[in-house]
Structure formats: structure tokens, C-alpha cells
Chains A and B, each alone.
Chain A
Amino acid sequence: MFDRTRLAGIFFQSLTAVACITIVAMMVIILGNILIHGIQRLSVGFLTKAPMAGMTSGGIFPAIFGTFALVLLMTIAVIPLGVATAVYMHEYAPKRSRMVHLVRLAIQNLAGVPAIVFGLFGLGFFIEFIGRGMDKAFFGGRLVYGQPAIIWAALTMALLTLPTVVVATEEALRAIPQSYREVAYSLGATRWQMIRRVVLPQAVGGILTGGILAISRGSGEVAPVMFTGAAYFLPELPTRLHNQFMELGYHVYVMTTQSPDVEATKPILYSTVLVLLMLTFLLNFTAIMIRARIRRRLRYGR
């Protein structure tokens, strides 16, 4: 019954299972290691205090604050833009038109551009071109916006996360039955009324998913903000759009690579990584839950 081909089949089939187990194990090892080491120093004080004594004690509050400020600004920029792009592709443009094809190609390629290239772009375009231009036009050449600032970091990050929002919104738009749109039109609604009152309220879940995934991505990326606004240590919190800011991911990077006393910063470092991970996971988990609900509706809703 067990001839050689069948035995070989079972062997290879189990190899693929081993590959899967390896991937899952890698994930578990990373998370487990960080959780075990990171949880020791985690406390309310750690989350609410500023770093002290050259990062060897104190907390990470400025970095948390900076990260939140960054993603807030980013969200304000990316959500309207991403939603409008998806609405255009799905509701306005004729299906399979050249324009839709082009926009989709642009979105796909934008998603593949390395984060560090976004950082270069942020420096070359936002800071050196727009920022310097604004300084010349409004501030008589005084250096205000022509230097790394939270607004430039946020806008750079918004471009990086644009594809995430567009893709998630489009998926939600696809889940809305065509009949809803027809009913709205039959009642005399204009296209904009139909979109505002029928399509967008129905797509709220997808937009939320996209936004949360974008925030999760934005709070973890470091390369785009390294030159566009993040700073290692600032005594004050950012209050203006042209201030620099501290960021969790950047904080991790600098503490890991440039700490004068690795052993002393290690516990704090682990806890910072844990906070960053928990933040991104909480966001990702919420997004996955909302998306699962939308997909269920897509499958059974019609």
C-alpha cells in the first residue's frame, strides 16, 4: 500500500508543514523574548516620565507623545486623500479605463518604494524645496520651516501609508451592493449625495481598517523620519508644526546603536521595544477584526 512515490509525497508534504511551523516559531520567539525581557521595567512611571541620566533611567513619555503627534498629523493628511483616491477609482472613473489603470499602477509602485527613499524625498522635496521656499516667502529667509520638522515627517509618512488606505477603502467599496447605489439614484440623488449618504457610511469599516493599518505602519517606520524631523533627545515636547519630535522607533534605533553604556540601557531598551510592539499590535489586531467583519459581509451580505 505504501509504495515509494506515496512515501516521498508524504515526506515532502511534511516538509512544507515544517516550513510553516518554522515561520510561526520565529514569530513566537521574537515576541516571547521581547515580552519576557521587556515586561520587567514596564510601569506607569515608565510611560509617563521623561528619559533621565543619559537614557539609563526614567521613562519614554516624550517619545510616545511624539509618535502620537506624528501619526495624528499623518492621519489627517492621508485619510481624505486615500479615501478620495479609492472613491475615484471605484465610483467615478469608468471601469477598466486608462486612468484607473494608471492610478492603480502608481499606488502599487508607491507601496514598493523603500522607506529610506521616502526619507530622501522628504528631505529633498518637503524640507529643501517647500520649507526653504516658505521661509523665503513668509519669514524673510529666517530658518523656520526649511529644517527637519514634525509636519514634514508626517507628510512624508502620509505618502508612505497612502497605498494602505486606498487598498482597504477599495475593498470596502467593493463590498457595498450595487443595488444600494441604484436606490439612491432612483430617489433623485446626485452622485455626490449618493457617495456621501450611502457609499461612505457603508464603507466606514474599510476606511477605519485602512486608517488603523496606516497608523500602525506609521508608528513603526523609522527610516522616513530620520532626516525629516525625529530627534534623539529633546527637553521639550513638540507644540508647533515646525518643531522636531522624539519617536519610539527612532528612540529604539538610537538607544540600540549609539548608547555609551549598552548594559545599563538594556532593560529600558527592551521595555521601549515592548511598548512599540504593543502599540502596533493593538492597532493591527483592531484592523484585522474590523476587516474580518467586512469580509464576512462581502461573502454573505448580497
Chain B
Amino acid sequence: MRSSGVLSASPQVTVAEPLTRRGTDALNDRIAALVIKGSAFVAILALILIFVFIGKEALPVLTSPEVHEEVSLRSLFMPQTPEAEFTWQPVSEHPKYSLMPLLAGTLKVTVIAVLIAIPLSVSGAIFTAEFASPWAREIIKPAIEILAGIPSVVVGFFCLMVVAGWLHSAFGWTYRLNAITAGVGLALAVIPIVYTVSEDAFSSVPQAYRDGSMAMGASNWQTASRVVLPSAMPGVLAACVLGFGRAIGETMIVLMASGNAAVLSFSATDSVRTFSATIAAELGEVVVGSPHYFVLFFVGAFLFILTFVTNLFGHWWVGRLQKKLQGAS
């Protein structure tokens, strides 16, 4: 079975073939090379196109005088009027676009999610890589894969229907859907990525480090916390950064579980609205080419750049760790 590809292939490429046939083979080879090389560019092209087309629709916020009648960079971030300083009210007689409530909402939810997800998943990864017996690993790893495979709309649904009710009856907050509910849901989406990347980092630490530490009389925990963890630190940091990037861009969970109230507040139990949820909730009804439309693309461009930078950083750190540990072993 394994070598069937070779066996079936070999009789067809005999050395002595008519010249015309060889000519077509060479031509096919050229064409295939061209097509394959072309396809490889698509990934790069796609990234550039995303950047260009989102940027193109976001640019009028900075340049168009028509759009400036309703919104400008200043009014997006600075206080607008004395009585309504920071308001996001795009659909009204006098539309107001302040990004500050959305920024505050995004930060609140993301920070809560990351605070829940990172301790859980990093210590979970330490356990799997350092202490777990093989059978425990056989349970945990598929469980994480299943968790990663749950569609975010299902997590959002579960948060809205079930978790919100539990938390509400346990703590009795004013708002049933708030930053904490959304943060808990978001943590579920962040855990798999933080876990996977940091587990990879722990596993790539050479066994010799552990052996050396144990030979000096260190305990399992001492080895894990003072030898393995420090050497894998860049990978763990990368995991946190990638998790943050995932959290800030995730849409469906926050759209369903955050309450969607664009209010500038610093309380974790108020309803909130994030950047991603704002796009999802409003783009459907917006008039193409209106200031509101451009502002939503502006928000999208901001999200894109933010996640792009966090990803670049994350992968750079992972690469550095791999280089360092390869050099060491």
C-alpha cells in the first residue's frame, strides 16, 4: 500500500520514448511549474489585497471632505460635544462616531478573556508536557482539539443561553450580558491556541536540560519551573501574544454575549460592545458609500493592522525560540 504510488508510476516513465512524447512532457513540466509558482503567490497577493481593499474603503475617513462633515479623526477619538463627550450613535439625525466606548469595550473583554485563558492554558500545557502520563495526554490533547473545533457561534450561543444565566444567578449583576460573560466565552476560544503554542514550546526544550536538572537533585516541579519554563519563555510569550490577537478579532462570541451597548464605562459588569461586534452588527444595514460605511471599514482596518502586528511578533518569537533551542541541543 505504502509504495503503490512508486510501483504504478515507474512503468510509465520508461527511458526510451518517442521524441514527440518527450517534447510534450517537457512542455507539461514547464506549464505545471508556472501554474504552481503562480498559485503560491496567491497567499501573498490575498494579504496585499486585503490590506489595499480595506484600506481603500477606510481612507475617506481621513481624506474625504464629505465624510468630514459627519466624522473626522479628531471626533473619533476626542470629546465631541460637552454634553455627549464620547458617543457611538451612528444611526440618528446627528450621527455621532466616537471610537472610545468601543475601544474601552474591546479592551475590557479582551483583558478578561486573556486573564482567564493564559493561566489555565499555560499551566495546562506544563502539566501535559512535564507531568502527565501518556494516557492522560491521550485524553487532554484530543479534548483541546475538540474545544478548538467548536464553532465560535456555538460558543456564543452557549454563553448567551447558559453561562449568562449561571453567572447572573450566582452574582446578580444588573446586566445579564456584560463584559465578564463575553470574556468567559472568549476565553474558550483563546485557550486552544495559547495551550497549543505553549505546549509546543515546552516539548521543544531538549530532554538533556531536564536530565541535567534531575541529576542535580531537583524535583519534578523545580525542573519544570526553573529549567523548562525559563527556556521555553519566548514560546510562552508568543502564545500569549497570539492568544491576544485571536481574542481581539473574535466576533461571534462577543456579538452574542456582550450585551452590545456602546457605553464608555470601566465597570466589568456593564454591557459592552467591541470593535468586531460593531462591524458585524452594523455593516448589514449600512448604505454603501456613506460615512458610517467608511467608519466601519476604518475600524476593520484598525483590527487588521492590530492582529497583523501581533501575529508577526508572535511568530517571530516562536522562530527565535526554535533557533535558540536547536543551537543548544
Q: Is A30 an interface residue (CB 8 A)?
A: yes
Q: Is B325 an interface residue (CB 8 A)?
A: no
Residue pair B120, A19 in contact (C-beta under 8 Å): yes
In the complex, chain A residues whose CB is within 8 Å of the CB of B219: 5-6, 9
Q: How far is the CA of A103 from the CA of B47 in the complex (A)?
A: 10
Residue pair B149, A280 in contact (C-beta under 8 Å): yes
Residue pair B157, A202 in contact (C-beta under 8 Å): no
Report, as a range, how many residues of chain A touch the other chain.
Answer: 35 or more
In the complex, chain B residues whose CB is within 8 Å of the CB of A189: 9, 13
How many residues of B are in contact with the other chain, CB < 8 A? 105
Interface string of B8-48 (1 = CB under 8 A from A): 11101111000000000110110111011101111110110
In the complex, chain B residues whose CB is within 8 Å of the CB of A192: 25, 28-29, 31-33
Residue pair A193, B25 in contact (C-beta under 8 Å): yes
A92, closest chain B residue (CB): B36
Interface string of B115-127 (1 = CB under 8 A from A): 0000111011011
Please provide the chain A residues from 230 to 285 with a CB less than 8 Å away from any CB of chain B in the complex. 249-250, 252-253, 256-257, 266, 269, 273, 276-277, 280-281, 284
In the complex, chain A residues whose CB is within 8 Å of the CB of B35: 84
Please provide the chain B residues from 279 to 329 with a CB less than 8 Å away from any CB of chain A in the complex. 279-280, 283-284, 288, 296-297, 300, 303-304, 307-308, 310-312, 314-315
Q: How far is the CA of A253 from the CA of B124 in the complex (A)?
A: 31
Given contacts A88-B37, A256-B161, contact A34 B5 (CB under 8 A): no
Q: How far is the CA of A189 from the CA of B158 in the complex (A)?
A: 55
B131, closest chain A residue (CB): A13
Q: Is A52 an interface residue (CB 8 A)?
A: no
In the complex, chain B residues whose CB is within 8 Å of the CB of A33: 158, 162
Given contacts A33-B162, A193-B25, contact A284 B145 (CB under 8 A): yes
Contact pick for A198, options B9, B252, B314, CB 8 Å: B9
Residue pair A102, B46 in contact (C-beta under 8 Å): no
Q: How far is the CA of A24 from the CA of B132 in the complex (A)?
A: 14
Which residue numbers of A lie inside 8 Å of B, CB to CB? 5-6, 8-10, 12-13, 15-17, 19-20, 22-24, 26-27, 30-31, 33-34, 80-81, 84-85, 87-89, 92-93, 99, 102-103, 105-121, 123-125, 128-129, 159, 162-163, 166, 180, 183-184, 187-193, 195-198, 201-202, 216, 219-223, 226-227, 249-250, 252-253, 256-257, 266, 269, 273, 276-277, 280-281, 284, 288, 297, 301
Residue pair A114, B250 in contact (C-beta under 8 Å): yes
Given contacts A30-B155, A198-B5, A256-B156, contact A123 B14 (CB under 8 A): no
Q: Which of B52-60, B83-91, B97-105 faces chain A?
A: B52-60
In the complex, chain A residues whose CB is within 8 Å of the CB of B152: 115, 220-223
A147 to chain B, nearest CB (A): 10
In the complex, chain A residues whose CB is within 8 Å of the CB of B126: 16
Q: Is B220 an interface residue (CB 8 A)?
A: yes
